[in-house]
Amino acid sequence: MPTYNLKINGELVTFTADSDTPLLWILRDELNLVGTKFGCGIAQCGACTVHVDGVATRSCQLQVSILDKEEITTIEGLSKEGDHPLQEAWKEVDVPQCGYCQAGQIMTAASFLKENPNPTSTEIREAMHGNICRCASYNRIEKAVAVAAKKMS
């Protein structure tokens, strides 16, 4: 099996894996970064969203063999203290019901707010539409993203 060196949450990590192993399973099974969740396995629900060079990316279909010098950030690396403005807004608005999708939702929102720091409600809905919440907390998610945008400006 090949050996890989990846920068994850600011730290260089080394591991061996089959070339077609999805990043999700390295994060969860090898590195114990379990905030990133398995949802659908086909990159459609967003539960597995991480940042690759700051861009929201579905890790369940991202093979480790195509990663090289990219910077990978998981929900655990978004803020060491758990106090990123999005995390604070999520608590303030009381977004989650079951909470399963929330790390992916937050990671998608964080990438979006870097690109659009002052979004409209329509832009937030469009940016978040690819993340599924089985509890249907979409209105609270939208509100929390708006709250975080104000906190970040």
Same domain? For 109 and 74 the reply is: no
Which residues have a Cβ under 8 Å from the Cβ of 15 and sit 6 or more positions away? Answer: 3, 4, 6, 26, 30, 31
Q: How is residue 11 annotated by DSSP?
A: E
- Residue 21 shares a structural domain with residue 71: yes
Mean pLDDT of 100-125: 98
Query: Do residue 68 and residue 18 come from a single domain?
Result: yes
Question: What CATH number is given to the structural domain containing 89?
Answer: 1.10.150.120
Q: What is the share, in percent, of the chain residues with pLDDT greater than 90?
A: 97
Return the pLDDT at 69.
Answer: 84
pLDDT at 149: 98
Contact 82, 90 (CB under 8 A): no
By the 8 A CB rule, do 105 and 135 touch?
no
Those residues with Cβ within 8 angstroms of residue 5's Cβ, 6 or more apart along the chain or in another chain: 12, 13, 14
45-67: average pLDDT: 97
Average pLDDT of the chain is 96
Domain co-membership, 73 together with 96: no
Q: Per-residue pLDDT for 18 more than 90?
A: yes
Of the candidates 27, 58, 78, which is a domain's last residue? Answer: 78
Whether residues 73 and 89 fall in one domain:
no
CB crowding 47-67: b at 16 or more within 10 Å, else e: bbbbbbeeebbbbbebebeeb
Residue-wise pLDDT tens digits, 69-93: 899 999 999 999 999 999 999 999 9
Domain boundary (23, 52, 78) is at: 78
Mapped onto helix, strand or coil, the DSSP state of residue 95 is coil
CATH number at residue 67: 3.10.20.30
Average pLDDT over residues 50-74: 96
What's the rounded Cα separation, in Å, for the pair 92 and 18? 42
The stretch 57-66 carries a mean pLDDT of 97
Q: Do 74 and 24 belong to one domain?
A: yes
Number of compact structural domains in the chain: 2
Rounded to whole angstroms, the Cα distance separating 151 from 153 reads: 6
Helix residue ranges, H only, 8-97? 23-25, 75-78, 85-93
Boundary (domain end) residue, out of 78, 106, 123 = 78
Expressed as residue numbers, the domain containing 54 is 3-78
Q: What is the DSSP letter of 120?
A: -
pLDDT score of 56: 98
